Chains A and B, each alone.
Chain A
């Protein structure tokens, strides 16, 4: 079972509307959680990174929240634009017994913004 689950798998919204993407994880112990945006044919681009003690972080119209108790994160996109059409990937970093980090990836949410 994947330790990072994202929902929905895909989403279509009208330009200008808001949307929220979900990421649930079981990774423990937890180091940090990142949201990436990946345009078609391009590499992922980091949007936010949050550690255990952070509840929310914003990057322009993107706001990520983290509840480390329930192991849930969300990415809220405000006033969507056509350029927001992309895949959004949640990546959780765990900590191994050796102290090294271990990365766990969600399979992403495919967002399509239509005019």
Chain B
């Protein structure tokens, strides 16, 4: 089965450190999303790309978060500097558009201490 691959699966870091999360979307998918999930807030959309171009990053704190797609096989989400409130599970999802649904990765569980 084709799958969305996220690395690392778990990350523990100290406050103030830079964190980079990576996502390999399913080959051929032209839309990539980054989500954050916490117990309190549930799933929140952070950013999404279509054909590698950022379409919406309004859900992302711009001062510390950045999302990029250097090529069609890699999406990155970077937090610099990280803060304890960033602790969450970060999901990447990819798809071919609204009508087809999206496939989620298994997530990166980030803990900032």
Contacts and interface: CB of A to CB of B under 8 A. Distances in A.
B14 interface: no
Interface of chain B, helix or strand or loop or mixed?
strand
Contact of A49 (B93, B101, B103, B106): B101
Interface in B30-89: 41-45, 55-56
Contacts of B106: 41-43
Interface residues of A, number: 21
Interface residues of B, number: 19
A108 B106 CA distance: 18
Contact of A32 (B42, B98, B103, B107): B98
Contacts of A32: 98
B25 interface: no
A43 B42 contact: no
A89 interface: yes
